[in-house]
Amino acid sequence: MSQYDVVVIGAGPGGYVTAIRAAQLGLKTAVIEDSKIAGLGGVCNQWGCIPSKAVLKNATVLHTIKHADKFGIAVEGVTADYSKAIDRSKKIVDTQAKGVGFLFRKNKIDLIEERGRLAGKGKIKLEPSGKEITAKHIILATGSRPRVFFDMKADGKVVFTAKEFLSMRDLPASMIVLGAGAIGMEFAYVLQNYGCQVTIIEMADRLLPKEDPEISAEIEKAFKKLGVKFHTQCKVEKVDQKADGVTVHVTMADGSKQTFEAPRLLSATGITPNSQNLGLEETGVKTSPQGFVEVDEWMRTSVTGIYAIGDVTGKFPLAHVASAQGIACIEKIAGHHPQPLDYGKMPSATYCEPQVASIGLTEPDAKAKGYDVKVGKFPFRPNGKAQGIGEIDGFIKFVVDAKYGEILGIHMVGPEVTEILGEASLAMNLEATAEEVDVTVHAHPTLSEVFKEAALAAVGQPIHM
């Protein structure tokens, strides 16, 4: 029977990062990952963050070529084989997965390619081998999977979730996208650019409903221009899933009934935790009614020695949050003094064009919390770099507390804003105020000058307005 200090169940961005840190801290570590379920890197690498970025790049390249005339470049006879985009993404996935495997070997982490199930305190039963291993600390990093409603079945023929979508090698003439969150929006952008007519159906009153309303408005403008059809405040009554397509029955915002038909449908309506078949109940690990594992600030579950990180905790289902939770969790276990996570300062990004990136409170949320809110906003249009690269749509918006200039939230829509997001995170985590951002010299010409100007707009008068 193998004995470990730490066993992590799941090799996604939460689990594998945690395992590496555990090994670095001198703990004997194993990771259990059933390659039939996901593989190294988890959903993030296999059919999430990584392959979608590859496919999105294809879409933006295609978009640039289609609009090459604005650079005075005439391009004729363009053909775009979507299956090549998928092939390219698969290669990247394999490279990344191998990278994780390499890091495991380098850090002497045992990879156990089975399924793990809690078998009492400190014990894990492996399936199918039936072997048992013990660990002083067990970290559940089993993640989540797409949540599919309306009795649909994600068959990869008519109905798709992100997982099936990233293996779909051909494109239909049209596709319905249920849900206008990050995943729905990114794939809608890919499809529309490749010539597949997209119709987005969203329950909330706007696209990207978790973002600041002004961001949603800007992205709606862009999607309209792109040719994406979308309907908000829709109540889906039922979906007929047939062999050759779907019919979606919707009660529209105005109360009228409408049906939408398409050969395929992408369901992007949230996640559900992978907390079944883990032996949680038998071991006494408490879960929420939705099945998320309940954890405290150091990711400890209700059972001593068992921890949970990432999507399965339902805290903030993003890869980087899972990694951060895992690092805090394992450093605490190792007796270090990590900082507790501030879930109010977690960045999030959406990779359609223009990109969307944000952190912290939206303007309405900040007001609802009682802050005396000041807003600083600056568009990309006057920015020299934006003009140069030909991407002038979008803006950066600072939401600050009037009294001390405390940055409550930063909301960005525009070119490469996901790469400016790091500066926003740093500013908020270091508790810089809008003033410090303003007095920080930003290189010219860069898109990040807009970031500085937006901060300045919040505390004074921007220069280039």
Partner 1 sequence: MATNVLMPKMGYDMTEGKILRWLKQEGDAVTKGEPIAEIQTDKVNIEIEAFAGGVLARILHGADEDVPVGEVIGIIAEPGEKVEVPAGSAGKRTAAETGVIGGTMNEAGSGEGGEAVAFEAGAGSGAKAHATVAPGACIEEPSRVAQANADARQAAAGAQAPVRGEGERVKASPLAKKIAADQGVPLAEVPGTGPGGRIVKRDVEGYKPVAQPAAFVPTAAVTEVPLTRMRQAIARRLSESKQTAPHFYVTKAIDMTEALAFRAQVNQTLTGAQKVSVNDMVIKAVAKALKAFPNVNASWAEDKIVQHDRISVGMAVALPEGLVVPVINDAYGKTLSQIAETAKDLASRAKENRLRPDEFSGGTCTVSNLGMFDVESFTAIINPPESAILAVGSTIKEPVVRNDEVVVRSMMRITISSDHRVIDGALAAQFLGEVKRLLESPLLLVV
Enumerate the active-site residues.
Answer: 444
Q: Which of 432, 447, 454, 455 binds partner 1 (CB under 8 A)?
A: 432
Q: How far apart are CA 384 and CA 255, in angstroms?
A: 46
CB 46 within 8 A of CB 36: no
Site for partner 1 in 323-342 (CB under 8 A): 339
Q: Chain-centre distance of CA 384, in angstroms?
A: 30
Contact flag: residue 304 with partner 1 (CB under 8 A)? no
Assess contact for 408 and 399: CB atoms under 8 A.
yes
What token pair was written down for 438?
A: 């303003």
**From CA 140, how far away is CA 119, in angstroms rounded?**
13
Stretch that binds partner 1, among 17-25, 237-245, 271-279, 399-407 (CB under 8 A): 399-407
Q: Is 423 in the site for partner 1 (CB under 8 A)?
A: no
Question: Shortest Cβ distance from residue 406 to partner 1 (Å)?
Answer: 5
Q: How far is the CB of 344 from partner 1 (least distance, A)?
A: 12
Question: Cα(109)–Cα(32) distance, rounded to whole angstroms?
Answer: 10
- The answer to whether 404 contacts partner 1 (rule: CB under 8 A) is yes
Query: Which residue lies nearer to partner 1 by CB, 389 or 459?
Result: 459
Task: Confirm or reject binding of residue 360 to partner 1 (CB under 8 A).
Answer: no
Element (H, E) at 435: helix 434-439
Beta-bridge partners for 177: 200, 266
Provide, rounded to whole angstroms, the least separation between the CB of residue 336 and partner 1: 12
Cβ closer to partner 1: 182 or 407?
407
Residues in contact with 299: Cβ distance below 8 Å, sequence separation at least 6, in sequence order: 139, 307, 308, 309, 313, 325, 326, 328, 329, 332
Stretch that binds partner 1, among 18-26, 202-210, 430-438, 449-457 (CB under 8 A): 430-438
Verify binding: residue 440, partner 1, rule CB under 8 A.
no
> Which DSSP helix (H) or strand (E) runs through 246?
strand 245-251
Number of residues interacting with partner 1: please give it, by CB under 8 A.
Answer: 11
Say if residues 31 and 110 touch (Cβ distance below 8 Å).
yes
Selected range binding partner 1 among 4-12, 57-65, 198-206, 400-408, rule: CB under 8 A: 400-408
Instruction: Confirm or reject binding of residue 220 to partner 1 (CB under 8 A).
Output: no
239 counts as binding partner 1 under rule CB under 8 A = no
Q: What distance in Å separates the CA atoms of residue 110 and residue 3, rounded to the nearest whole number? A: 11
Do residues 232 and 206 make contact, with C-beta atoms less than 8 angstroms apart? yes
Report the residue number, 147 or 345, with the smaller CB distance to partner 1.
Answer: 345
The CA distances from residue 147 to 154, 179, 273, in Å, are 10, 11, 9
Q: Any contact of residue 149 with partner 1 (CB under 8 A)?
A: no
Q: Is 5 in the site for partner 1 (CB under 8 A)?
A: no
- Which range of residues in 25-33, 40-48, 328-336, 425-433 is near partner 1 by CB under 8 A? 425-433
Give contact residues for partner 1 (rule: CB under 8 A). Answer: 339, 403-406, 430-433, 435-436
